[in-house]
Structure 1
Amino acid sequence: MTAKASGSPGGAPEGRGGGGTITTKVPARLDRLPWSRWHWMIVIGLGTVWILDGLEVTVVGNIASRLSEPGSGLPITDAQVTGMAAALYVAGACCGALIFGWLTDRYGRKKLFIITLGVYLTATALTAISFSAWWFFLFRFLTGFGIGGEYAAINSAIDELIPSKYRGRIDLVINGSFWLGAVGGSLLSVVMLNTHFFPLNIGWRLTFALGVVLGLAILLVRRHVPESPRWMFIHGRAEAAEKLVEEVERRVEAEKGERLPEPDKAITVRTRESTGFVEIARTLFRRYPRRALLGLALFIGQAFLYNAITFGFGSILVKFFDVPTGDTGYYFAVIAGGNFLGPVLLGRLFDTVGRRPMIAGTYLLSGALLFVTAWLFSAGHLNATAMTACWCVVLFFASAGASSAYLTVSEIFPMETRALAIAFFYALGTAAGGITGPLVFAELTQGGVVGDTVLAFCIGASFMAGAGLVAAFLAIPAEQRSLEDIAEPLSARAAATSATGPAD
């Protein structure tokens, strides 16, 4: 079960720092593992960070009015919190995803998912002691910078460590856990902003401090999460990868009380130190243009649908249904709960029914349901409770679809480009949602005009349904397949080329 290494048999290797070739069964050995306590450790150590992201985003939105009040200890306006600070958080997330995504592919998953969490913890702690607007803006940007890096480092590591049989459902639940954090953030803000419990200038600081405490708890678990063996053997650390997998196999066999079956497939790769930007771009857009179009469609579609609903949900409840401003957090908690349940209850179907029907189905169905919601709203058939119920149903399916976008781009491109591919599509989707979305939907949903709000819903629904149609034709049947079967590693292609001579 050990890897075989050999010197370069001839031919120039692709990538930088190419070395000899190795033959290994590490991917097959990881994919045939049954679910175990070791996998739960991976999920808890890496996946729970999305709860922090949901907590962060929701808390800032809910405490915006408190930060701008006299006596809050921070000279800042409500518009600056929801405008400039929010935009800088989004910009930081986009920059962090791209920079840390490239570093993750180059230096490894473990180093970067420790660093990115460290950046988040430091920036959040310093946000809690903000004394001026510029300080708050700076560390909101750096908080987003760390969270954006987490998306690239964590999604790539999870997909490379979770067995193929469970990869879809686990990835969906983990990405959907953002909304568990959103529920917590909504309810937390109700308590922390209550001046009967905490002074005006203390409660909002404690909300950020709690994020630090939760992050430190995650860091304690994350220290035990290993490097991806897939990344290790491609980067010339075959012996370490074999040793790691053997240790995991022993632990799983001891837990299950039975021997594991023999792995059935080996892969030969040519080791490399890094992969250049030119090769990455050529791989994404020249070798896999249809897959790149699929990734773009999925991320942009879900970004527009979510902004059509969530960007102005508070204004819609207040202006059209006379909901008190202080009560909108409760409604959002209900909506966030529906978002979380979607990936949890539908995730298994992505591994059994299949990627293409489930991705296309969740996108198309959520788009269609939002069209129906727009019609009911325009006809005056909804009150605040019914509108919230409609949003919950729409987002139940949309959340599973949006989570599958992250799953899709993390498994349909070669190993050497995985983290940067995730980062690229995440950054593009986040930019579309965080920059274009507010520009499009701010005027439509906050003006108090029924027709404008209906138009906002229809725009979001159209983008989501359009992405669903793209998925119906282009989605890859990746369910229960090895990552190496879905997209051949560049290093495997290089090994084949060097063994047979340069391709014509």
Structure 2
Amino acid sequence: MRTAIPARLDRLPWARFHWMVVIGLGTVWILDGLEVTMVGAVGSRLTEDGSGISLSSGDIGTAAAIYVLGSCLGALFFGQLTDRFGRKKLFLLTLGVYIAATTATAFSWTPWFFFLTRFFTGAGIGGEYAAINSAVDELIPARVRGRVDLLINGSYWLGSAAGSGLTVFLLSEHYFAADLGWRLAFGLGALLGLVILVVRRHVPESPRWLFIHGRADDAEEIVGGVEAEVEAQTGVRLAEPATRITIRQRSVIPLRTIASTAFRTYPRRAVLGLALFIGQAFLYNAFTFDLGTILTTFYGVSSSTVPVFLVVYALGNCAGPLVLGRLFDTLGRKPMIAGTYLAAAVFGVVLAVLFQAGTLTAWTFLAVVAVTFFFASAGASAAYLTVSEIFPMETRALAIAFFYAVGTGVGGIAGPLLFGHLIDTGRTGPVMVGFLIGAAVMAVGGVAELMFGVDAAGRSLEDIAAPLTATEDQQPYPDDQDTEPPLGPSPSGSTAPAAQAPPGCA
């Protein structure tokens, strides 16, 4: 069949429909930030007498590792289901898994049950990454896809800041008993998930997924309804779409075909994805899990004051995608991704040198960390954007899942383990070496972007990587050739009036 659906979606002015997509789907990162931060913040309470569960310090570390393991396995499991059965079925299912598991966490009474619920909570969040990133990129117009994706991924840190702030209140025994406050913290996460589920039910299936999987009539009905709604809200008369694509519809695409295309047709893009994900996962997990320990060990910050520092750290991370996001669409992906990764590496070296020299106080140390992660957060968010753009539509969710799982499994485990042992020495020299290693892995990601990065800004997803079901004259270019696929006309080049970007993305 020959269809203009991708071009029709990409030419839409920004409207209420796009806000529904952002709110209904994008808020999952707030949940993840909330979950990770709350567990770190309530960990000490769970080890105290009277908490109602009696975990040891080792159990807290085990629970964190189990959560990460669940995220990696959940991403892989739900990712391949998302490509096979559709975006909407899975982004409803994975949120349901999260809500059920985090609710069960609040009722934990013994370590084994707490571990089990943390595994399934992580599995739900990992599955969300694959289902949500693929759906968002397929529904948001190409011209603002970069900044919207970065803002959504950067919202993780809003959840982190909220989690830090909430736990200060919920763990206060002036208001809540020792065995109640931490349970309410997990209950609030589940309540937020239910609110998001109500909004998410109204987000449609991806028309791009529908027309490839033999459901062209459903895709036409959804896009036609969105167009009518957008025209009524904006008063814009939509012009005819600029491009069309011819595809062979298939109801089922074998997993072996998806995997072969992702990692044989695009090997350089696969290397790029791994470099970006491992670099950011190492740096982020190392600092996020160990920042409090660094502050208490080397700067004498009390454990009750650490959440205040974590709020500042989280807000600094949130500022990166918010301030720099629009540049990923205007200046382009390659200079911005490489620039943010390399800038984070440079400031990481500065941090290491100043830390070893002993010239920093707790707050000046946090200031240098905030500047470092201002750039690192924008780059890390762009890693998700990159792997969701540069592979064919049929492999998108699985590609996101694979790179997330490998990056988190390698960098996300190695980073905290290494930094934990270096901090245990009580000496600044070994910790400085850890900072330098973190800077080095970010630099590798920046260099990989310079070598293998794809200019995806403002381009239709089908132009960046043609669907596997496209006819022979539109098949994707193997990237072992020296040239990228020709740019071709962008669907956003229609004569419709320029769309207004969402506030903060102008």
TM superposition score category, shorter chain reference: over 0.9
RMSD: 1.1
Equivalent positions of 1:380-395 (< 5 A) are: 380-395=358-373
Residue matched to 1:292 = 270
**Does 1:477 pair with 2:452?**
no
Q: Does 1:63 align with 2:42?
A: yes
Could you tell me how far apart the structure 2 residues matched to 1:274 and 1:144 are? 28
Q: Does 1:372 align with 2:343?
A: no
Identity of aligned residues (%): 61
Q: C-alpha distance in 2, partners of 1:64/1:117?
A: 24
Conserved 8 A contact 1:87-1:434:
no
**Structure 2 counterpart of 1:41:** 20
Query: Following TM superposition, by how much is the alpha carbon of 1:380 offset from its aligned partner in structure 2, in angstroms?
Result: 1.0
Match of 1:133 in 2: 111
Are the counterparts in 1 of residues 38 and 167 from structure 2 also a CA contact under 8 Å?
yes
Aligned 8 A contact 1:370 1:457 in 2: yes
| Residue in 1 that maps onto 2:490 | none
Confirm or deny: 8 A CA contact 1:176 1:343 kept in the other structure: yes
Which among 193, 197, 218 is matched to residue 175 of structure 2? 197
Partner of 1:89: 67
- In the alignment, is the contact (CA less than 8 A) between 1:105 and 1:274 conserved in 2? no
- 1: distance between equivalents of 2:94 and 2:40? 23
Question: How far does residue 311 in structure 1 lie from its aligned partner after superposition?
Answer: 3.0
Q: Deviations over 1:175-231 (max 9, x none)?
A: 110110000000111000000010000000000000011000000000000000000
Equivalent-residue separation in structure 1 for 2:236 and 2:338 (angstroms): 39
Cα deviation, 1:262-303, whole Å, max 9, x if unaligned, reads 101111111112222321221122100010000000001111
- TM-score, normalised to structure 1's length? 0.93
* Structure 1 SS opposite 2:142: coil
- What is the alpha-carbon distance in structure 2 between the residues aligned to residue 496 and residue 37 of structure 1? 33
Give runs of ≥4 in structure 1 deviating > 6 Å.
Answer: none
- Mapped to 2, the partners of 1:146 and 1:427 lie a distance apart of 13
Gaps of 5+ in 2: 476-506
- Amino acid across the alignment from 1:75: S
Between 299-308 and 223-232, the greater mean CA deviation after superposition: 299-308
Aligned residue in 2 for 1:29: 8
2:257 is the alignment partner of 1:279: yes
The amino acid across from 2:45 in the alignment is R
Distance 1:438 1:308, change over 3 A: closer
**Distance between the aligned counterparts of 1:276 and 1:246, measured in 2?**
30
**Deviation string for 1:418-461 (max 9, x for gaps)?**
00000000001111233222332210123211001101100000
Counterpart pick for 1:269 among 247, 269, 277: 247
Contact 1:370-1:461 at 8 Å conserved across structures: yes
- Equivalences for 1:485-500 in 2 at 5 Å? 485-493=463-471
Q: CA offset at residue 495 of structure 1?
A: 8.3
Aligned to 2:318: 340
Question: 5+ residue gaps in structure 1?
Answer: 1-21, 498-504
Q: Which moves more between the two structures, 251-260 or 115-124?
A: 251-260
Per-residue CA deviation, residues 293-321 of structure 1 (Å, 9 max, x unaligned), is: 00000001111222342232111111111
Please give the per-residue CA displacement for 1:236-280, whole angstroms capped at 9, x wherever unaligned.
000110111011001111111121111011111111122223212
2:504 is aligned to none
Aligned twin of 2:397: 419
Listed one character per residue, the Cα deviations across residues 347-374 of structure 1 (whole Å, up to 9, x for unaligned) are 0000000000000000000011010011
Distance 1:494 1:60 in 2: 51
Q: In 1, are the aligned partners of 2:272 and 2:448 still within 8 Å (CA)?
A: yes
Aligned twin of 1:113: 91
CA drift of 1:49 comes to 1.0
Picking from 46, 49, 54, the partner of 1:75 is 54
Residue of structure 2 equivalent to 1:362: 340
1:457-482 Cα offsets, whole Å, 9 max, x none, are 00000000111011012110000000
Q: Is the 8 A contact 1:369 1:394 kept in 2?
A: yes
Query: CA 1:494–1:72 in structure 2 vs 1: closer, same or farther (change >3 Å)?
Result: farther
Deviation digits for residues 51-108 of structure 1, max 9, x if unmatched? 0100000000010010110110002112211x11011100100011001000000000
